[in-house]
Amino acid sequence: MTRVEAEGLIAHDVLAVVLRMTPSSPEVLLWQRAREPHDGRWALPGGRLGATEDVEASVRRHLAEKVDLGEVAHVEQLSVFSDPHRGPAPRRVATAFLGLVPSDADPAVPGDTAWHPVDALPETAFDHGTITTAGLDRLRAKLSYTNIGFALAPEIFSISELRGLYAAALGHRVSATNLQRVLTRRGVLVPTGSTAAPGPSGGRPAALFRFSERSLRVTDPFATLRPPDRDC
Amino acid sequence: MTRVEAEGLIAHDVLAVVLRMTPSSPEVLLWQRAREPHDGRWALPGGRLGATEDVEASVRRHLAEKVDLGEVAHVEQLSVFSDPHRGPAPRRVATAFLGLVPSDADPAVPGDTAWHPVDALPETAFDHGTITTAGLDRLRAKLSYTNIGFALAPEIFSISELRGLYAAALGHRVSATNLQRVLTRRGVLVPTGSTAAPGPSGGRPAALFRFSERSLRVTDPFATLRPPDRDC
DNA sequence: GAGGTTTTCGCCTGTTGGTCGAAAACAGGG
DNA sequence: CCCTGTTTTCGACCAACAGGCGAAAACCTC
């Protein structure tokens, strides 16, 4: 046992599951390792926690090396991964984050970095496959009771586009009727008044919407067992 | 800068917000520090992450020093607290957990340890007040869409007792009618068939219930925007 | 203008949660 | 033994909400 291990000092990493929706499937941002351990495998972006930053600042700093931070619309903490055998020695503890990139953004990425559909991941390094799944699960859950869709969608979009994004994230079909009604009733979606140009094969032009807020908010009906009389 | 700081090695602690419901208010388990820093202030139970354990195993180990682990019905990870200035140097990162103790348990605790109502906390050490609030917020949210009440209630209980626990945790009155209907419909509550003895002033004897499962489960209606046809 | 395509909107239905009041089941006192 | 007070339970009603369907609207090309 080395001196630092005896003192209980541990290397702390931050990692980000950065997701983007495509018409067919969610994609996660991975980079290919070029050295041992796990040479050649694909890993989540991240790196060491610095001495003067908290974990969120750290993950943003490391993310900036792989993707334009302006394109990342939302970042939130996921969970700590600390199994002593999650990687080869020496031991490393990682705080994982979820990052979301709107579907219309196509940020430039370094040569070792690429988007991979989550249902056909390459061989991943360490426990990064598990962490990716945890990120997607979190997104799916929050789509139901928050306005987190703002981080997947362009500024302006039609209900059809939004339905495609929700369907890709959730993995099942979504009713456009219901989606519009639920999100507008909750006040997360507001009409812009303008309409999009119809497609090449015609069709009624789609009304365009935007999210009322572009930061995370939990919507009301989340809380069953409410206080009486709507107050407290 | 010392050698270990240059290497990015950081002390990692685990902390637990252990909550218990009383008729008047939630209580959190705190112990009084007997040395600097923050000598005399009250702190959450916890300690260093060991070399051969993950964070959950670690928090259970440290918790066992303060309270009988058999009385802790549920433990889950909350969040990482990593502000470089959350305490005096040297820097420490902490993974916080939420622990729940049923209301009928009254575990023996060491002399430096005591339960404190969360609405009248003593002067707390470091950021432990903030962490306590985060724990209570998590509990309140999960009461709505999971069966987490199992960790607050005795094995067998009446609806009135359960209503008291929910009211204490949520901070507002709860309808007994609605609570019973919602929880039984979701299948988290099942009647035992037996009834309790009436109180000293009479009254109809209360039917007794128990939770169908004593491990965390997310209940269905949580997911709005369901897949079509109830399948998929 | 006719036919095809896409989106939008109104209507209906089943489920859920909130509220209220009546009824049930007990104790104690006259 | 009946009446009152107390506590719990249950049924009924209502409002809000999500899911589904089909008609209508608004565009295209031919």
- How far apart CA B75 and CA B98 sit, in angstroms, is 6
**Which DSSP state fits B6?**
H
Q: Which residues contact B130 (CB under 8 A, 6 or more apart)?
A: B81
Q: Which run of H or E residues covers position A159?
A: helix A159-170
Radius of gyration of chain A (CA): 20
Q: Which of residues 152-171 of B touch strand D (CB under 7 A)?
A: 158-160
Q: How much is the pLDDT for B230? A: 38
For the stretch B118-132, pLDDT in tens is: 999 999 999 999 999
CA of B230 to C1' of C3 (A): 36
B22's tokens: 């009383």
Q: How much is the pLDDT for A141? A: 92
- How far apart CA A53 and CA A46 sit, in angstroms, is 14
Three-state DSSP class for residue A192: strand
Residues of B in contact with A178 (CB under 8 A): 225
- Comparing C-alpha atoms, which of A49, A48, A43, A47 is closest to residue A29? A43
Question: Parallel, antiparallel, or unpaired for β A42-43 and B42-43?
Answer: unpaired
Residues of A in contact with B49 (CB under 8 A): 8, 10, 82, 93
For the stretch A74-98, pLDDT in tens is: 999 999 999 999 999 899 999 999 9
Query: Closest to B49 (Cβ–Cβ): which among A10, A172, A221?
Result: A10
For residue B40, CA distances in Å to A31, B31, B32, B94 come to 49, 9, 6, 21
> CA angle, B188 as apex, B21 and B151 as ends, to 5°?
25
- How far apart CA B28 and CA B20 sit, in angstroms, is 7
Residues of B in contact with A51 (CB under 8 A): 1, 5, 8, 84, 91
Over range A50-60, report the average pLDDT: 97
CA of B194 to C1' of C15 (A): 30
- Cβ–Cβ under 8 Å, residues B8 and A49: yes
- Comparing C-alpha atoms, which of B44, B46, B38 is closest to residue B14? B46
The residue written with tokens 């520090």 in the block is B33
Q: Residue A102: is its pLDDT beyond 70?
A: yes
Over range A1-22, report the average pLDDT: 82
B105's tokens: 């348990």
Residue B190 bridge partners (DSSP): B210
Q: How much is the pLDDT for A231? A: 40
Residues of B in contact with A143 (CB under 8 A): 225
- How far apart CA B224 and CA A218 sit, in angstroms, is 13
How high does pLDDT run on average in chain A?
91
Q: How much is the pLDDT for A230? A: 38
pLDDT band, residue B209 (cuts 50/70/90):
very high
Three-state DSSP class for residue B151: helix
Over range B20-46, report the average pLDDT: 96
Over range A177-203, report the average pLDDT: 91
Nucleotide closest to residue B200 (CA–C1'): C27
Determine whether B92 is exposed, middle or buried from the number of CB atoms within 10 Å of its CB (0-12, 13-18, 19+).
Answer: middle
Total length of chain A = 232
pTM: 0.92
Q: Residue A24: is its pLDDT beyond 80?
A: yes
Q: How much is the pLDDT for B227? A: 61
- How far apart CA B57 and CA A219 sit, in angstroms, is 35
CA of A13 to C1' of D2 (A): 77
Q: Do A84 and B51 touch (CB under 8 A)?
A: yes
For the stretch B51-107, pLDDT in tens is: 999 999 999 999 999 999 999 999 999 999 999 999 998 999 999 999 999 999 988
Residue of chain A with shortest Cα separation from B89 = A51
Q: Is the CB of B224 under 7 A from strand D?
A: yes
Q: Is the CB of B187 under 7 A from strand C?
A: no
pLDDT band, residue A223 (cuts 50/70/90):
low
Q: What percentage of chain B carries pLDDT values higher than 90?
A: 82
Q: How much is the pLDDT for A20? A: 97
Q: Do B145 and A170 touch (CB under 8 A)?
A: no
Q: Do B225 and A174 touch (CB under 8 A)?
A: yes
Question: Closest CA to D10 C1' — which residue?
Answer: B177
Query: In Å, how far is A2's CA from the nearest CA of chain B?
Result: 11
Q: How much is the pLDDT for B6? A: 54
Query: In Å, how far is A159's CA from the nearest CA of chain B?
Result: 14
Q: Residue A106: is its pLDDT beyond 90?
A: no
Q: How many CB atoms lie within 10 A of CB A12?
A: 24
Q: Do B49 and A232 touch (CB under 8 A)?
A: no
A225's tokens: 């067992």
Q: Which of residues 182-221 of A touch strand C (CB under 7 A)?
A: 195, 198-199, 201-207
CB burial of B27-41 (b: ≥16 within 10 Å; e: otherwise) equals bbbbbebeeeebeee
Q: How much is the pLDDT for B140? A: 94
- How far apart CA A166 and CA A146 sit, in angstroms, is 13
